[in-house]
Amino acid sequence: MANSNTLLPPVEHKRAGSVDIVLGVQWGDEGKGRVIDLLAKDYAVVARFGGGDNAGHSIEVGDRKLALRIVPSGALVPSAKLHVGAGTVISLRTLLDELDALGKIGVDISRISVSDRAQIVFPFHAAVDQAMERARGGSAIGTTGRGIGPAYVDRVGRIGITVGDLRNPAALTEKIRQSMQAKASLLAGAPDAPREEDIITDTLAAAKRLLPHVVDGVAYINEALERGDNILAEGAQGTLLDVTYGSYPYVTSSSTIAGGACIGLGIGPGAVRSVTGVVKAYCTRVGGGPFPSELPNAEANALREAGREFGVVTGRPRRCGWFDAVTARYAARLNGLDRLIVTKLDVLSGLDRVGLVTGYRHADGTPAGVESMGEPGLQTEIEYHPGWSENVREVRQVKNLPSAARAYLDRLANVTGVPVALVSVGPERTAFAA
């Protein structure tokens, strides 16, 4: 690529392999897991770049449903190596359980690696998370209670414990003691506060099992790129839960946007070839916080039941609403989206009309932007599209979808300014229309 600066010689990117990022456009739960499962066969490595076991990717294979929280969603594609990047926070218990579960169904777990710079989430982080939520009372964030926020706080506060620390039991033990002492006042009031000695014993035992999977993440990813391997970077949660650009403070504690992939994997931006946004044909959110296109419960129920909108991790019913083009356009900019993959189109079958939020207005009727999302009295501009009654689950080509469904998809592309590349039309592993 030529450099437009007249003083410097043109830049030639030396990379051999490339990174394609796939991430969520809304508040998570867009169906990224199934998309990544579908795309993984074309990549040497599928790498998670952020989040922890607050994520829950589910993939249905026949009558079996595999729910993964930490291991990347390419687990069922044997040719792909799986990497858990430095930007993640890892509960050792959850990761070990997943390795066991995958091993039991015949998955080769030796292809799973974990960056030594990833942070460990301990049970005391979960206890602090829950204590802080209780203290927030009516303005609780509605976290998953897994300790994700407190673990990222420790990283930034420079008292975090990394996966690489598992290599040195004596130093690890001391760091656990110090970290728990620093949280003593918060843990004192927690009814389920874990005991220091139990944590140390469990962590040292977990270290023995995990160390064969621990790698220098920067070398692992960059040597793969230098060899010419292509990498699929898997986002967790969604753009609107990003710690900086999401619906703050009702967000998760990591960078969920495309920029987070560079930090979370240790790559330069020049390695990124494309950014694909996964977006549900309607909108959902779990936990507290603003949700301008949210439907009242009676109307939301139809979407919730048809879309099985209950959390993979917590089982909580998800809040449901219409597709929100205001936030989708915002996500397109933040991530530099090249294309969209629309999921769960089948859930809209049978509705008389399908709503789409195209704009916001302040209470006084003047136009409002995404930054006003949480404002009292915010109104939405909704356009309604004719529904379709046909079941679309067997359709494999977009041109064979009902004309009303095609018109709705065309409008999504038009109103977001991003082309739709693929559409998921059912929960089965291969239920996609191209």
Positions touching ligand IMP (CB under 6 A) are 27-29, 54-56, 141-144, 146, 148-149, 237, 241, 250, 252-253, 286-287
Distance CA 432, CA 124 (A): 42
Q: Name the DSSP letter for residue 104.
A: H
Provide the CA 413 distance to its chain's centre, in angstroms. Answer: 22
The residue (of 90 and 267) whose beta carbon lies closer to ligand IMP is: 90
The CB-of-410 to ligand IMP minimum distance in angstroms stands at: 28
The CB-of-271 to ligand IMP minimum distance in angstroms stands at: 25
The CB-of-228 to ligand IMP minimum distance in angstroms stands at: 32
Q: How far is residue 6 from each of residues 3, 72, 92, 339, measured CA to CA in Å?
A: 8, 43, 51, 33
Catalytic annotation present for 63: no
Q: Which of 20, 29, 154, 165 is catalytic?
A: 29
Q: Which of 20, 37, 53, 57 is catalytic?
A: 57
Residue 241 three-state SS = helix
Calculate the CA dihedral of residues 220, 222, 226, 229 and round it to 10 degrees. Answer: 70
The residue (of 27 and 245) whose beta carbon lies closer to ligand IMP is: 27
The residue (of 145 and 270) whose beta carbon lies closer to ligand IMP is: 145
The residue (of 54 and 239) whose beta carbon lies closer to ligand IMP is: 54
Catalytic annotation present for 362: no
The residue (of 191 and 315) whose beta carbon lies closer to ligand IMP is: 315
The CB-of-177 to ligand IMP minimum distance in angstroms stands at: 25
The CB-of-312 to ligand IMP minimum distance in angstroms stands at: 8
Distance CA 93, CA 84 (A): 15
Residue 291 three-state SS = coil
Residues with Cβ within 8 Å of residue 299, at least 6 apart in sequence: none
Distance CA 228, CA 313 (A): 36
The CB-nearest residue to ligand IMP is 287
Distance CA 100, CA 112 (A): 12
| Helix (H) / strand (E) containing 152 | helix 148-156
The CB-of-336 to ligand IMP minimum distance in angstroms stands at: 22
The residue (of 89 and 415) whose beta carbon lies closer to ligand IMP is: 89
Calculate the CA dihedral of residues 427, 41, 36, 50 and round it to 10 degrees. Answer: 150
Q: How far is residue 242 from each of residues 26, 247, 369, measured CA to CA in Å?
A: 10, 8, 18
The residue (of 94 and 222) whose beta carbon lies closer to ligand IMP is: 94
| Helix (H) / strand (E) containing 342 | strand 339-343
The residue (of 21 and 141) whose beta carbon lies closer to ligand IMP is: 141
Provide the CA 230 distance to its chain's centre, in angstroms. Answer: 20
- Asked if 350 and 430 count as a contact pair (C-beta separation under 8 A), the reply is no
The CB-of-147 to ligand IMP minimum distance in angstroms stands at: 8
Q: What b/e readout covers 38-60, taking b as 16+ CB neighbours within 10 angstroms? A: bbbeebbbbbbbbbbbbbbbbbb
Distance CA 254, CA 248 (A): 12
Give the Cβ contact number of residue 282 at 10 Å. Answer: 27
Q: What are the residue numbers of the active site?
A: 29, 57
